[in-house]
Each structure stands twice: as structure tokens, then as C-alpha cells.
Amino acid sequence: MSIPTVNPTPTSITAAFDLPKPPGVSWRVRSQQVVDYEVSMTRGLLSTSNSTFAHACGADGKRRTRCLVVVDDAVEQLYGERLRAYFSAWRIAHNWRVVPGDENTKQLDTALGLVDDMSSMGILRRAEKIVAIGGGVVLDVVGMTASLYRRGIPYIRVPTTLIGQVDAGIGVKTGINHGQHKNRLGTYCAPETALIDPEFLRTVDRRHINNGLAEIIKMALIKDSQLFDLLEATVASIDPETLADCGPAGGEILSRSIAGMLDELEPNLWEKVLERAVDYGHTFSPSLELRADPPLLHGEAVAVDMAICVALARNRGLLSEQDADRALTLMNAAGLPLTHPVFTAELLERALEDAVKHRDGYQRMPLTAGIGSAVFVNDITADELRAALSFVAHRDHRAADSDVLESAR
Ligand SMILES: NC(=O)c1ccc[n+]([C@@H]2O[C@H](COP(=O)([O-])OP(=O)(O)OC[C@H]3O[C@@H](n4cnc5c(N)ncnc54)[C@H](O)[C@@H]3O)[C@@H](O)[C@H]2O)c1
Ligand SMILES: [Zn+2]
């Protein structure tokens, strides 16, 4: 009687089942994920008679529902009472977490704290939502946590700053910082919906309005010359009130910026194509934003980066002298810096090297080719960076007598 083989050799299995010899067998799995979310601009979001927000939270006012609300500390102070009244009116039981709207919040510890909140609340994986209400910081960290918790649960974004409403709140990127690097960790995770109420902008301070204007000017420079003209004509009157009132200019500026951003993002949500016009002003700034002391706001760092890009394009003949001047004048008029001591030639080179890694081995640097359109270049040299810095330093009215001129030399 033959004894069965306990551990048959690969040869005997192959012989018995006629399998191809390894290597030589593989499986391909192909699947597609449909991304479908709505960005709506709506007024009176916190009015109890407005059902938009409640429906986004899955509430109908009859059944009791639950959600985890993560709210920016400034928003809590200014709108907390109205928010709670709204949730109560719509029978939404809410677990409430307040986090500081501060760049230091964008770190792993905050994300882990939110994970604990979700666990202890026992949030249902699909039916109950996380609601992020605040500026880009809160939206980024909540989005990342939502994308990680049980490998992804639905969340809603309610951006309350200008950057949030035209940028951070409407795409699919989430992130936290690590070391001195912005957004070193992050995911792509679309919210279920993004609800934009310009009314929140009424309480945003001037510096943070200017911060958001940097991203709006970016959109104008890379794809919308009409938006640029509108900004040029109205920049002096843009303030929290005009934006919140959503009058003809304010409404047009907000909606053109949002539409332009979504138009750029939609065909390339997962950034398969690394030539992204919306990365304009985001080549050097991610490495340098957190190095400044005191730190620059995101839009301020983007503005300094954009000013260098304007100079690079002007020096290459991609932008006329007059258009370069218009671009820098608009940024200055929007109260944005064009220079900063931390943007030295050496650091710009290092930042560009890091951008090359981020962009998979090439510079893929967007520059303006005339106002309202972008081209990508891969051959920016250290000499060009030096020349660009010097060009901008001599045009920044605020830089006179400062160490900025010195650092550009
Ligand atoms: N995910 C993305 O695609 C994306 C895009 C752009 C920017 N971002 C990120 O967004 C962050 C910047 O966002 P931000 O400029 O909104 O900064 P922020 O979130 O720090 O908010 C700015 C300040 O405004 C306060 N605030 C929020 N809403 C307010 C209101 N209605 N009234 C008064 N004060 C209010 C906050 O408490 C904070 O002090 C950066 O971390 C940046 O990296 C992400
Ligand atoms: Zn940005």
C-alpha cells in the first residue's frame, strides 16, 4: 500500500493539475471607482428653514439621526450656537469636537484623536456622517481621518474660509503635515458633498481673505483672463463684507474661481497626470511655507512662489513686461507679499528638487504663457531662479530696505 505524500513537491502538483510552471501565471484585477459629489453654493445654510445641510447629514427632521461634527474653534465661537440650534431643529444628535484652526492641528495626533471619537461614538460605517466645518486645516485633517477610518467613511465639508471655499473644500485631497513638509501624508478622498455659504466669510479677518485671494489670483493667471480683469478692477473693494454679500463682483469672483478649479480637477482627480496647472505657485511654497518664522499662511507662501513664477515667465519671454507688471501689481494690491527672506536662491533650489520628486522625476513646472493660460517647463536653472528672485525683490514695494533684497543677491 502506498503512503500518501503529505507535502507534495511543486513538480508533483504541476504534474497532477497541469499548471504552468512558475513564473508564468498572473491575475489582473481591474475596477473603476466612480467619483460623484456635489459642490453647492448656498445662502442661509444655518437657517433652520433651509433643509440643504440637514439632508446632506442624512436627516429628514422626523427620524433621529446622528453625526460627528468636527468644528474649527473660531467657527465654534462665532457660529456654535446657531449650528447647535440647527442640528437640534433637524433632530440630528451630534457628537461635537472642536479643533483649533491652526496649521499645528494638521498632524497625526489630531487624526488619531478623531479616530478615538468615532470609535467611542460607534459611528455607523455608511449611514452616519462626519461633518467638517471650518477652514482648510480642519477640512484636510478630517478628510484624511474619514478616508482612513475603517478604510473610508462618508464625510461632508462645510468650508468657512475663503481658501476653504475656493480650494481646500472643493477637491478630493486631504492631508497632514510632517516635519517641515506640508501635506507629507494624505489621501484622495471625495466628500459626499461640499456646502459653501459665503455668509461665513463675513467674520474672516482681512489677512485670511487676502490669503484666499492668492488662490483666486492663481486661477486667473493660469486659466481665466476675464477673472483677472475683474480682480484688477475690483481688488480695492474686495473685503469680507462684499464677498459675504455675494454682490455682482463678489459672487462672480467666487463662482468663477470654484468653477475654474473644478474644471481643472475633474479630469485628473487622482493626479495621474502630474502636469497640473493648479500647481502654479505650489512648486517652492510647500517646502518653504513652514520654514518662515513666524510661519507664512498658505496663500502668502503661494503668492511669493507665484511672484517668482511671474519673473521666470517674464525672463523667458512667456509673459510680456506689461503683463508681469500687472500680475505683481495685483498681488500687491491684494495685500499679498511678493518676497520673503526664507525664499533664498539656495532654498528655492532645494525646494525645486523636492518638487521634482513629488512630480515623479521632472520639474513639470507650470508657468503663465500670457495671462490666462499655462505651459509646463522642465529646465529651470539655478541662474534663472537667482535672476527671478532679484527681479521680484526690486518690484516688491514692501521689500525696500529689507533683507529681502540682500537675500536675492
Ligand atoms: N486639500 C486641498 O486641496 C487644499 C487646498 C488648499 C489649501 N489647503 C490647506 O488649507 C489650509 C489653509 O486653509 P485656511 O486658509 O482656511 O486656514 P485655516 O484653516 O487655518 O483657517 C484660518 C483661520 O480662520 C479661522 N476661521 C475659520 N473660519 C472662520 C470664519 N468663518 N470666521 C472667522 N475665522 C474663521 C480659523 O480658526 C483659523 O484661525 C492649509 O493647511 C493648506 O495646506 C488644502
Ligand atoms: Zn494651495
Tell me the CATH number for domain 206-265+276-408.
1.20.1090.10
- Contacts for 316-320: CB closer than 8 Å, 24+ residues apart: 316/367, 316/377, 316/384, 318/367, 318/368, 318/369, 318/370, 318/375, 319/367, 319/368, 319/369, 319/370, 319/371, 320/370
| Tens digit of each residue's pLDDT (9 = 90 or more) over 167-190 | 999 999 999 999 878 899 999 999
* Nearest bound ligand to the CA of residue 169: 1
Residue 94 has pLDDT above 90, yes or no: no
* Amino acid 254: pLDDT: 97
* 74 Cα to the center of ligand 1, angstroms: 11
Strands 92-99 and 374-377, by their bridges, are unpaired
**8 A C-beta contact, residue 141 and residue 212:** no
Q: Top-level CATH class of 38-203? A: alpha beta
What DSSP designation does 202 have? G
Question: Where are the chain's structural domains?
Answer: 38-203, 206-265+276-408
Residue 7 has pLDDT above 60, yes or no: no
- Look up residue 141 and give its three cell numbers: 485633517
Please report the beta strands in 15-90, taking only residues with DSSP state E, as ranges in sequence order.
Answer: 38-41, 65-72
Averaged pLDDT score across all residues of the chain:
92
Residue 8 has pLDDT above 60, yes or no: no
Residue 84 has pLDDT above 50, yes or no: yes
Residue 409: pLDDT band (50, 70, 90) is: very low
Percent of the chain with pLDDT over 90: 83
Atom of ligand 1 nearest to the CA of 212: 15
Rounded mean pLDDT, 130-157: 97
Residue 406: pLDDT band (50, 70, 90) is: very low
Residues marked as catalytic: 173
Is 137 touching ligand 1 by the criterion CB < 6 Å?
yes
> 155 — phi, psi (to 5°)?
-145, 160
| Tens digit of each residue's pLDDT (9 = 90 or more) over 243-268 | 999 988 999 999 999 999 999 999 99
206-265+276-408 has the same fold as 38-203: no
Residues with Cβ within 8 Å of 389's Cβ and at least 6 positions away in sequence, in order, are: 308, 311, 339, 343, 344, 345, 348, 407, 408
The best mutation among 106, 155, 161 to test binding of ligand 1, ranked by most ligand atoms within 8 Å of the C-beta, falls on: 161
Residues with Cβ within 8 Å of 32's Cβ and at least 6 positions away in sequence, in order, are: none
Pick from 86, 92, 95: nearest CA to 64: 92
Residue 348: pLDDT band (50, 70, 90) is: very high
3-class SS of residue 381: coil
Measuring from atom 34 of ligand 1, which residue has the nearest CA?
204
Rounded mean pLDDT, 217-241: 97
271 against 77, higher pLDDT: 77
Residue 129: pLDDT band (50, 70, 90) is: very high
**8 A C-beta contact, residue 195 and residue 53:** yes
Measuring from atom 18 of ligand 1, which residue has the nearest CA?
135
Atom of ligand 1 nearest to the CA of 72: 37
Question: What is the rounded distance in angstroms from the CA atom of residue 324 to the CA atom of residue 313?
Answer: 8
Give kind and range of the element (H or E) at residue 96.
strand 92-99
* Amino acid 398: pLDDT: 56
* Nearest bound ligand to the CA of residue 141: 1
Give kind and range of the element (H or E) at residue 368.
strand 365-368
Residue 288: pLDDT band (50, 70, 90) is: confident
Rounded mean pLDDT, 377-392: 97
Is 335 touching ligand 1 by the criterion CB < 6 Å?
no
> If you search the block for the grid coordinates 459665503, which residue do you land on?
198
Is 192 touching ligand 1 by the criterion CB < 6 Å?
no
Q: Letter for the amino acid at 231?
A: L
* Amino acid 294: pLDDT: 87
Question: What is the rounded distance in angstroms from the CA atom of residue 235 to the CA atom of residue 271?
Answer: 32
- Contacts for 310-315: CB closer than 8 Å, 24+ residues apart: 310/221, 310/368, 310/392, 311/387, 311/388, 311/389, 311/391, 311/392, 312/367, 312/380, 312/384, 312/385, 312/388, 313/367, 313/368, 313/369, 314/391, 315/384, 315/387, 315/388, 315/391
Residue 238: pLDDT band (50, 70, 90) is: very high
* Amino acid 243: pLDDT: 97
Strands 155-159 and 193-196, by their bridges, are parallel
Question: What is the rounded distance in angstroms from the CA atom of residue 115 to the CA atom of residue 23?
Answer: 42
| Tens digit of each residue's pLDDT (9 = 90 or more) over 15-55 | 667 766 667 778 899 999 899 999 999 999 999 999 999 99
What DSSP designation does 98 have? E
C-alpha angle 296/302/307, rounded to 5°? 115
Rounded mean pLDDT, 129-157: 97
* Amino acid 10: pLDDT: 53
Residue 408: pLDDT band (50, 70, 90) is: very low
> If you search the block for the grid coordinates 474649527, which residue do you land on?
72
**8 A C-beta contact, residue 285 and residue 193:** no
Is 285 touching ligand 1 by the criterion CB < 6 Å?
no
* Amino acid 118: pLDDT: 96
Atom of ligand 1 nearest to the CA of 183: 43
Atom of ligand 1 nearest to the CA of 211: 15
